[in-house]
Structures are given as structure tokens and as C-alpha cells.
Chain A
Amino acid sequence: MQVKGISAYGAYVPSLRMSRKAIAQAHSWALPSLRGLGKGTRAFCSWDEDAITMAVESVRNCLKNGADGAAPIGALTFASTTAPFADYQNATSVAAATGLPSNIQASDASGSLRAGTSALLNALQNSRSESALIVASDCRLAKPGSVQEMHYGAGSAALAVGSDNIIARFVGSESNATQFADHYRRSGADHDYYWEERWVRDEGYMKIVPATVNTLLEKTGTPADAIQHFCMPGTLARLGAGLAKKLGINPEAVVDNFAADIGDTGSPQALLMLIAALEKASPGERILVVGFGAGCDALLLEATDAITEYQPAVPLSTVNDHARTVEHYNQLLSFSGQLQLDWGMRAEVDNKVSISQLYRSQDQVTGFNGGECSSCGAVQFPILSTCVKCGSTEPMSRKSLADESARVATYSSDNLQYYPAPPMYWGLVQFDNGARLLMEMVDVNAESFDVGTPLRMTYRIKQKDDSRGLHRYFWKATPF
């Protein structure tokens, strides 16, 4: 049997960070006890981001970081507890936006925060593809004023699993299914319901995790002190350190859980910690990854010699480079739909999507493919029946614009148009390959933005159709 392992990774965290102090201050009139948690920041989704858009970004990063190599990708699993669709496969939406072929095995995984590690485990143990992608993505919603509101974050992690060029080989795993309700959320409900933290820690984490991990270490013949990287998700205070101590794992092996600046991202959290470990690991080092939720997954991986050569184009370590801290707590509520502002009559528009039109133009709208004229070579968007440059009516070949370099040709910041994050920046985007189209521009820093500013493309929600639930997704431009 061929050795399986991880060959590439990609991470994505929204650039928006909510100041926890601002959250605590907003609630201080009623819930002064939150002040103690008011340190650092947590990531949150912009109004136009969700688990699908974040998954698209982390998969794109994973492809750039090597997954788009020799082995054909044969499977994609999307793991999330906050998937936008209950029935309209989310994995397929991610595949369509990331240019994966249609002959892949696509599936969604859900049911607990363990969905990410379970999907990884499934790919490592069962995938017959030469290369399988798994992506975990969560945009977690917490009730205003709850402790969870302080802890929860948002993000996505993607991993490529295969046998070629693996940077960490799969050593073994152990799983446990226990009906343990540290929290739960009924289908269709907005918020989680939680039980007492002390019980969760003592009866849940401190018992279920050690039993599972010890079995894994035993059957793989691995001494606990031979673990160099311990990825223990969850943001209960000192959870990783406490478990390491109980298990006999070196305290230095505990991988940072991103609690300080990103927060608890849910199903991707264990995988983000695994990625962080991979960015530090040397050949031969062992990485223990735990997923917790209705029981527990424990996976053991070992870094290979190839890890020294692995140079990710978009490393996780740069994830905070573009972070922007927000002090307006209402922005978090508004972006997550928990506060309905009066946007005026301009917001009263019907955003019904024509599904047959979407299907007909999916490779353009979702895949962001322009057309390349077979007569004159002009790249253009959208693809109409006649070339914009030479007038040829020959069929055009597809040319992806998603990763093409581009610049601002013209722009304005629009205070009049209804937009959930005003002002709305939009204008003509000029691609280096000659294509040009009018686009929305997001995450703009007004001071440094002008004609000529370099742009990259990001997959986002264009408009929301709250009455029918099928939002429009399209690409937007954002400064490098």
C-alpha cells in the first residue's frame, strides 16, 4: 500500500477583526462580566463572505501552494457546520469557483466541529484519488452578549491528500463517538446552546481526548514525549496545556490556537493549527491533531524530508498581514444579519437569480473565465457572441481571470448606492492580459487607492436574495 499524506495546504482568514474590547464595551451596561474577555481580536466575515467564499479562497491558496501539481485532483470534501446550503451541494460550488474539473467526487461533511478532521481522516484512509482536497470552512454565529461571541472566529483551511510529494505522512489515527453535548445546534437554529464550561472541560475534553490519544500512541508505538506538535482546538482556557500535561506531551509542543487574534474558527480550527505546525516542522517531527465534537478524532502525522523544500506561495504565517481591526461592534452584528439597519428605499430591490441563466453562464460567473478570441487573441468578459476587438464570431476558448494580475483603470467610492459596507468602491479593472471589466472593489484603503493600484481577485457574495435564499456570488477585486 502506498503511503498517504499531505502534499499541500492553504489557509484563509477574513481580513476583518473585531476588537473584543469593543464587544465588551457595547454590552457593559448589562453584562459587565464580559470585560474580562475583552482582550485581542477575533476574525469575522464581511457581509459578502460565508463558508463557501472562504473555502474558495483557501482552496485557491492550496492550489497555488502546490496542490495544482502533477497528480490530478479526483475528490473534494467540504466540511462545515455553517454551510450556506442544506441541499445544493456546497462542495460543488467550491469546485466550480476554483476551476476543478467536473469529474471529481464531491461531498459535504458536517454534523460537528469534528467535520474537518473527519474529512481529513476519511481522505487519508479511504480516498482512491491520486490527490484529494479537503476544505473546512466556518463562519460561526454567536448570540449577542454570549461568551461565544467573544471566542468565535471565522476562517477556512484546505489540505491536499495524496501519495506524491507529501510533506507529512499519515502514521495512524483513532476515533471515538460519544454523545457528549458540550454544545449543540438544532437544524435551522441560529445559535449554539452550551453547557457549563467546567463540566465540558472535566468530563469532556479531559476524559475523551486522553483516552483516544493514548490508544493512538499505543498502537503506533509513539511515546507521548516524541510528539513535537500538538494541535488541540478549542478555546477553553489552558486546554491544550492541560491536556498536554495529562498526556505527557512536552508543553513546548502545544501549537498556538489563534485565540488571541482570530478566535475559534470551528471545523477548520484543528486544520489551521496543523498548517501552522507544518510551517514549523522539520523532517521526522511528529504532529498530533485532535478534532473534538460528539467524541473525538486523533491523527498522527510525521513530517517528511520534502517539507524542507516546500515553499508555500501563500503561507498561513502571513494571514494577519492584511488584518483590519474594527471598533464598531454594530458592524459585526450588521454583517452577520443580526442587526437590521434601515438602509432606506434604495435597498428595496429584488435580487432574484435566474437559475437557467446562471447555469448557462456558470463558467463565466462562477469560474471567472473570460473568452479568448481565436482570431485576434483578445481576452474579454463577458463572453458574447462576437469578439469585442475584431468582430469574429468564432467560438472563444476559456481563459481564467481569477489569478491574472490586474490594476485599477477607473474608480469611484459611491455613497449613494445601497451597499452593506458603504461606501461602495467600484470601477473598471484592467487585467494585464488585456481583459477589462467593471468590478466591485473591496477591502480598500482610501489613502493608498488610485488609478494603477494593483489588484487581485476574490470570490464573494455579490448580492443577497433574502426572500429566496439563493445569493449571487461573483468575483471582486481587492488591493494587493
Chain B
Amino acid sequence: MATGIRDKVAILGMGCSRFGERWDSGSEHLAAEAFSEALDDAGIEKNQIEAVWSGSALDNINVGNSAIPLAMALRLEGIPISRMENMCATGTETLRGAAYAVASGAVDIAMAIGVEKLKDTGYGGLPAPTKGTLNDLWFPYGSAPAGFAQLAAGYRAKYGTSREDLKRALAHVSWKSHQNGVKSPKAHIRKAIDKDTILNAPIIAEPLGLFDCCGVSDGAACAIVTTPEIARSLGKTDIVTIKAMQLSLSAGRESATADWDGSYVRNTRIASQKAYAEAGIRNPREELSLMEVHDCFSITELVTMEDLGVSKDGQAVNDILDGFYDADGSVPCQIDGGLKCFGHPIAASGLRMTYENYLQILGRAGERQIKDARIGLSHNLGGVPYNGVAAVSIIGRYEQ
């Protein structure tokens, strides 16, 4: 019986570049920025890193395929570096690779790094990717916001929520993240926006308006991991360990059968239940100190509150409007601004979320520090709600 990776892997150091429209920086600069912070934080030398998982999601507009560009950028010679791509879960996937390498005993020190340079396309939003020669023949290629907006139609139909009530809850989601982003020095968007402006913004994909969509940003984030014992031997006293890392992918049930009603994301439910079991969490609403979820669009954050089991099904609208997830609420969500305001350089996002949880648990989050952060959950969604990948990871204080 597998025992999982709970407390087998410690985070030795982390780094995160400033996110945003980094017109002055290429992928190689962003990677170096996150890497050097992580290396300083870990307190080790570059040559102590034994294996690397390197994430970049959109190779056609980023640095190209393989991990060679990363090896070149950081001059990491002669060690195994794997390139990882699993849509928006890419960053978390690099951490899973590095954590598994350490947990297996294959290496003592491994690194995860995600880099994305999105602002070299010449337009806002993401480019439309191909999905293979068969899908190209029949698949309607819509935008990402319209893909996630399908949840709004499904949610309204299931719970009989009025368009207006749903829109108000969605506005609160984005309003809260804008409030939080102001206190994040590395965030892409650091500006509070009032709810009327959010509600009256131009529609991108019904019902999502401009402020219901996250920032498209350049950025990189990095984690160096080892075992708790080695971390201690390297002089770390305040240790953060990985409690769980789980992943779930669609195999067609949601998009090709009537089994899915459009009001939730099945992969998040599966991955979070497994993660809670791995981490030993019985009541996430009570036990989680904070959450960094995949708020690519406001509707995604809304259903994720139910998918993670923090809000009851059909109750996320009320919890959100009650301020349950606000900075001063019971379980602050997106305390760093989230994808919405911190930004969303795809392959860096999962690591950026872990970075915020890590800072909060260590009490290093500055102005936005919450009280007594012990357990932080991060969540990524790649692809679309009905055809995608969900990653849930949980980190916390090492208390042994």
C-alpha cells in the first residue's frame, strides 16, 4: 500500500520573479530571476542540484521544446533536466517531478522551475493552439474564457441561480483579488477596482467581462526540494513540507457523455479528495489556513470553492458574498492577488501559488501576512473544465 509523499519532501528554498508585462526580459532572464532567489533562500550552491524539472507550456511562443533552453539559461550542465508540459498545471507538475525524485531517494536535492513568456505575441490573451490533426477537423476552437464560461451556464441551470446573482458573486471574486493584489509587490496588477466597474466592463465571453479574466503575464517561479532531514542538516529550523500532490485528468466522461452537468469540475473533486486523504485532512473548511486556486476566470474560482469541498454545493455564491474567502475571512483565497492580479505566466503559476503558501507559512508575506498560517492548498486547472487537468497540492509546517 503506497504511503504517499506526506512529509517526505521539504521545500529548501523558493523564488519568484516579478510577474507582468516584462517587455525587457526574455524567458532566460525570468528564469534566472526566480532561480537566483530560490538558490539564495535554499542556501546551497548551484552544483548541489542533482535533477531539474523545467516547465513551459506554450513552446510555440515561448522558448521552444526540450529542457535545453533552460539548461542554457541557467548554465546547468551535465545533470538530468526534463521538460514538463501539462497545460496550466505545468508548474505544479514540475514540483511533483522534483518531489517524487527526492521521495524516491533517487536524488537528495532536486529543483522545479516554471517559466512562461506570453507577452511576445503582439496581442492580449493566449494564442489558439492546435489540438492534433483529428481534433483540428471537428473541435470548435474557442477562447479560454468561453471555455470556462460554460461553467456559468451549467451552474445557473443546475441551481436556478439568476444571471444577476451569479454576476454579483463573480464580481466579488475579482474585487477581492484586486484588493489583495495591491499588497503584492511582485504582482502584475496592483490596483483596486470597484464592483460597479467590474460589473459594467465589456463582455469577453458571456457572462465573463474584462475583470472576470486573469492577467496574461510573463514570469517564472522556482522551488528547490530535499528531505526534511537534509534540510535540517543544512541549518533550516523552520521547515515546510509537502503534505500532498495529486493530479486528475479528463478521459472524455465530461465532454462525451451525459454524466456531467456543467456546474463543477470533476478533476478538481477527484484530485482534492485524494490530496486530503494523502495529507490527512478531514475538514478542509476548518483545517486549511489559506488557498491559492486557479482563478483563471472568476467563475472558475467560484465553482472551485465547491469542488474543493470548502463551500457546500450550491453555496459558493453565498460564501463569496459573505466574505468567507476575503483577506479577513475564514479561509483567505488568493491572498497574493491570484492569477487574476498576480498574473498568469502559465508554467510558473503552480509554483507561484506554492511560493505564496510557503511565504505565509514561514511568516514572510509582509503586508499581506495572515495569522497563524499552517496549511496552504494550491490548485491548478489546465485545459477546460470538461476536458482538462487538475492539480491539488498541500504544503504545511513540518511538525515532527
B134 cross-chain contacts in A, Cβ below 8 A: 357, 361, 382
Give, as a whole number of angstroms, the nearest-CB distance from A404 to chain B: 13
Interface extent on A, as a size class? 35 or more
With a cutoff of 8 Å between Cβ atoms, the chain A residues found around residue B149 in the complex are 412, 414
Q: Is B310 an interface residue (CB 8 A)?
A: no
When A and B form their complex, which 7 residue pairs have the shortest distance between CB atoms, in order from nearest?
A412-B149, A414-B146, A410-B150, A416-B143, A451-B157, A357-B133, A354-B133
Given known A-B contacts A409-B154, A412-B150, A438 and B140 have beta carbons under 8 A apart: yes
CB distance from B229 to the nearest CB of A (A): 43
For residue A418, which residue of chain B has the nearest CB?
B128
* Closest Cβ neighbor of A472 among chain B residues: B137
The verdict on B203 contacting chain A, using a C-beta distance below 8 Å, is yes
CB-defined contacts of B253 to chain A, threshold 8 Å: 388-389
Q: Is the CB of B205 within 8 A of A427?
A: no
B373 located at the interface, meaning its Cβ lies under 8 Å from any Cβ of chain A in the complex: no
User: Could you tell me how many residues of chain B have their Cβ less than 8 Å away from some Cβ of chain A?
Assistant: 45
One digit per residue, 1 when the CB lies within 8 angstroms of any chain B CB and 0 when it does not, for chain A 436-463 equals 1111100000000011100000000011
Q: Find the residue from B141, B204, B386 having the highest chain A CB count within 10 A.
A: B141
Q: In this complex, what residue of B is CB-closest to A345? A: B123
A408-434 contact mask (Cβ, 8 Å, vs B): 1 or 0: 111111111110000110111010001
Q: Mark B138-170, 1 if CB is under 8 A from A, else 0.
A: 111111011101111110110000000000000
Asked if A416 and B251 make an inter-chain contact with CB atoms under 8 angstroms apart, the answer reads no
Measured between beta carbons, the chain B residues less than 8 angstroms from A452 are 157
B137 close to A436 (CB less than 8 A): no
Give the interface segment out of B86-94, B255-263, B389-397: B255-263
Contacts of A388 in B (CB 8 A): 251-253, 256-257
Q: Is B136 an interface residue (CB 8 A)?
A: yes
A435: interface (CB < 8 Å): yes
- With A384-B252, A411-B150, A415-B204 in contact, do A349 and B128 touch (Cβ < 8 Å)? yes
**Residue B122 at the chain A interface, CB threshold 8 Å:** yes
Residue of A357, A413, A428, A437 touching B205 (CB-CB under 8 A): A413
Q: How far is the CB of B311 from chain A (nearest CB, A)?
A: 21
Contacts of B65 in A (CB 8 A): none
**Complex: how many Å from CA A292 to CA B270?**
67
Is B128 in contact with A428, judged by CB distance below 8 angstroms? no
Q: A427 contacts which chain B residues (CB < 8 A)?
A: 150, 153
Q: Which residues of A contact B (CB under 8 A)?
A: 344-346, 349, 353-354, 357-358, 361, 364-365, 378, 380-382, 384, 388-389, 408-418, 423-424, 426-428, 430, 434-440, 450-452, 462-463, 472, 474-475
A409 to B261, CA, bound (A): 7
Distance, CA A215 to CA B252, complexed state (A): 65
Min CB distance B361 to A, Å, is 37
Interface string of B233-252 (1 = CB under 8 A from A): 00000000000000000011
B330 CB–A CB distance under 8 Å? no
Taking the closest CB of chain B, its distance from the CB of A442, in whole angstroms, is 11
- Chain A nearest CB from B360 CB (Å) reads 34
Cβ-closest chain A residue relative to B122: A345
Given contacts A409-B261, A424-B142, 13 further A-B pairs with CB under 8 A are A357-B134, A381-B256, A388-B251, A414-B143, A414-B146, A414-B149, A415-B202, A426-B142, A428-B262, A440-B140, A451-B262, A452-B157, A463-B141
Q: How far is the CA of A381 from the CA of B138 in the complex (A)?
A: 10
A378, A427, A450 interface centre (most CB from chain B within 10 Å): A427
Q: Which residues of B contact A451 (CB under 8 A)?
A: 153-154, 156-157, 262
Tell me whether B258 and A430 are in contact (CB under 8 A).
yes
Give A427 to B153 CA distance when docked, in angstroms.
10
Q: Of all chain A residues, which has the CB nearest B137? A: A365
**Are A436 and B152 in contact, CB atoms less than 8 angstroms apart?**
no
- Please tell me which one of the listed residues B123, B140, B153 contacts residue A439 in the complex, with CB atoms under 8 A apart: B140
| In the bound complex, CA of A462 to CA of B141 (Å) | 10
CA distance in complex: A284, B238 (Å): 99
User: Are B145 and A416 within 8 A (Cβ)?
Assistant: yes
Distance (whole angstroms) from the CB of A248 to the closest CB of chain B: 56
Q: Tell me, yes or no, whether B363 is within 8 Å of chain A by CB.
A: no
- Would B137 and A410 count as touching, CB distance under 8 A? no
Question: Within 8 Å CB of B125, what residues of A?
Answer: 346, 416
Inter-chain CA distance A414–B139, complex, in Å, is 15
With A382-B134, A384-B252 as contacts: A410 and B205 at CB distance below 8 Å: no
| A382 to B156 CA separation, bound complex (whole angstroms) | 28
* A380 with B256, Cβ < 8 A, contacts A416-B125, A424-B146, A428-B386 known: yes
Q: Which of B125, B135, B138 has the most CB of A within 10 A?
A: B138
Contact of B252 among A344, A380, A462 (CB under 8 A): A380
Contacts of A412 in B (CB 8 A): 142, 145-147, 149-150, 152-153, 205-206, 208
Asked if A417 contacts B143 (CB within 8 A), the reply is yes
Residue numbers in A under 8 Å from B151 (CB-CB): 410
**Is B25 an interface residue, CB under 8 A from the partner?**
no
For A452, the closest partner residue in chain B by CB is: B157
Which residues of chain A have C-beta atoms less than 8 A from B137's C-beta? 353, 357-358, 361, 365, 462, 472, 474
Contact A409 B262 (CB under 8 A): yes
Most B CB contacts (10 A, CB to CB) among A384, A411, A435, A474 go to A411
Docked CA distance A453–B386 (Å) = 20
Q: Is the CB of A434 within 8 A of B257?
A: yes
B300 to chain A, nearest CB (A): 13
Please list 20 pairs of residues, one from A and one from B, whose beta carbons are closer than 8 Å in the complex, sorted by A's number: A346-B127, A357-B134, A357-B136, A361-B137, A378-B257, A380-B257, A408-B153, A412-B152, A414-B146, A414-B149, A416-B125, A427-B150, A434-B257, A436-B257, A440-B140, A450-B157, A451-B154, A462-B138, A463-B141, A472-B137
A417 near B138: Cβ-Cβ < 8 Å:
no
Give A382 to B262 CA distance when docked, in angstroms. Answer: 20
> Bound complex: CA of A99 vs CA of B55, how far in Å?
46
Distance in Å from the Cβ of B148 to the closest Cβ of chain A?
8
Q: A357-B134, A389-B257, A434-B258 are in contact. Are A415 and B203 (CB under 8 A)?
A: yes
Q: Is B121 an interface residue (CB 8 A)?
A: yes
> Do the beta carbons of A426 and B140 come within 8 Å of each other?
yes
For A435, list chain B residues within 8 Å (CB).
256
Cα-based distance from A167 to B145 in the complex (angstroms): 53
Q: What A residues does B261 contact at CB under 8 A? A: 409
